Every structure is written in structure tokens, then in C-alpha cells.
């Protein structure tokens, strides 16, 4: 049964990014195809489809080219700054952006796996990740912020814990995350 769950979650890790990519590609294709059908450049649906695919590929290449240009980066930074200051939207956009950057961006956050003593009376420990070493902005001294992911979920909880209750784990952040999210059933690579 544990192998079935392991394979299911590994399948999800493969399927979700591919599925979202295919869905976005399909939606963009439908958009461009509807433009050509509306304009009526050709009466052949096959030719409209081929033109739509060619334009979609050219659009994606152009987007990639623009994304690497200085001007586009400045424009994106400007738009991002505006989104982060808009009422209501900032409460949705900023956490999603930060969460995505924590996993995939240049500012990866889940790189310091630790073992946290969460119940000293019975010596219960949980695996988590240090997200902030310094909480002085909150007037909190001698404590750190540790994120404890939940098994079989993308959610978790943030705890503030004394530094002496935390010990570093000799593990890669991604391996520790896989171990936690799988509920401890995945094998840990020792590379």
C-alpha cells in the first residue's frame, strides 16, 4: 500500500506541471485559433490549425526572448510592484509569489532542514525548515521561525521556537521536503 501511495504522489509531481503546461498551451492555442477563425483568413480548418500552432510557437519564443531582455525585466518589475501594492490583490499575489520563490526561485527558503523539539515532556520532534534566523523586527529575541510542512499536503504551520530546541539535519532540503510530504514513506537519497 505504501508503494502505491509513493507512486501516486510521484505521478502527481510529474502530472501536475505537465498538465498545467498542456492546459495553458491548449488555451493559448484556442485563443489564436479563434482569432484566425474570426478574421476568416482561410476557410480550411486544417490550415487555420497549422497557422495557429505556428503563431503560438512564435508567441512563446517571443515571450521567452522578451523575458530575458532588460526592458521587459524592468516592465515586469514595475507591474509586480504595482500588484504588490494594490488592495486585496497584494494579499493574494504576494504570498503566492513568495511561496513559489521558496520552492523554485532564486530565493529558495526550504534549504535548512531541522529537527524541532515540539513537545519536550514526551520528546516529540518534527522535521521543519528554518525560514527566519532573526526575528528582531518582531521584538522576538533568541527564537527563530520554523516552517513545519504537513504530510500529504502543500500546507503547513509556522512556529516560533527557542533556538536550543532546534538541531540541524544533515539532509538536502528537497529530500527532507519529500520525506515530510510523503508522510515518511519515501526513501531518502544519501547522495
Domain range annotation of the chain: 2-103, 113-181
d(CA 67, CA 73): 6
Predicted local confidence at residue 122, as pLDDT: 92
pLDDT (tens digit per residue) in 54-76: 877 887 777 777 767 777 778 87
Predicted local confidence at residue 116, as pLDDT: 94
Q: Which three cell numbers stand for residue 181?
A: 510530504
d(CA 146, CA 92): 22
d(CA 105, CA 103): 6
d(CA 32, CA 55): 7
Supply the mean pLDDT for the chain: 76
Helices (H), 40-119: 45-67, 70-83, 89-103
pLDDT (tens digit per residue) in 1-24: 677 766 666 666 556 666 776 777
Q: Which residues of the chain are under the pLDDT cut of 50?
A: none
Amino acid at each position: 500500500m505504501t508503494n502505491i501511495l509513493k507512486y501516486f504522489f510521484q505521478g502527481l509531481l510529474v502530472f501536475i506541471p505537465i498538465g498545467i503546461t498542456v492546459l495553458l498551451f491548449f488555451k493559448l492555442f484556442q485563443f489564436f485559433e479563434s482569432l484566425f477563425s474570426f478574421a476568416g483568413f482561410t476557410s480550411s480548418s486544417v490550415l487555420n490549425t497549422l497557422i495557429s500552432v505556428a503563431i503560438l510557437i512564435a508567441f512563446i519564443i517571443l515571450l521567452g526572448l522578451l523575458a530575458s531582455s532588460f526592458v521587459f525585466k524592468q516592465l515586469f518589475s514595475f507591474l509586480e510592484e504595482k500588484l504588490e501594492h494594490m488592495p486585496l490583490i497584494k494579499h493574494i499575489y504576494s504570498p503566492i509569489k513568495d511561496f513559489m520563490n521558496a520552492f523554485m526561485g532564486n530565493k529558495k527558503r526550504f534549504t535548512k532542514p531541522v529537527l524541532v523539539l515540539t513537545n519536550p515532556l514526551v520528546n516529540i520532534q518534527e522535521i521543519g525548515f528554518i525560514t527566519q534566523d532573526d526575528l528582531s523586527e518582531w521584538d522576538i529575541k533568541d527564537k527563530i521561525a520554523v516552517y513545519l510542512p504537513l504530510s500529504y499536503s502543500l500546507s503547513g504551520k509556522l512556529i516560533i521556537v527557542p533556538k536550543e530546541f532546534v538541531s540541524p539535519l544533515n539532509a538536502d532540503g528537497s529530500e527532507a521536503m519529500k520525506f515530510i510530504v510523503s508522510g515518511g514513506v519515501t526513501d531518502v537519497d544519501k547522495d
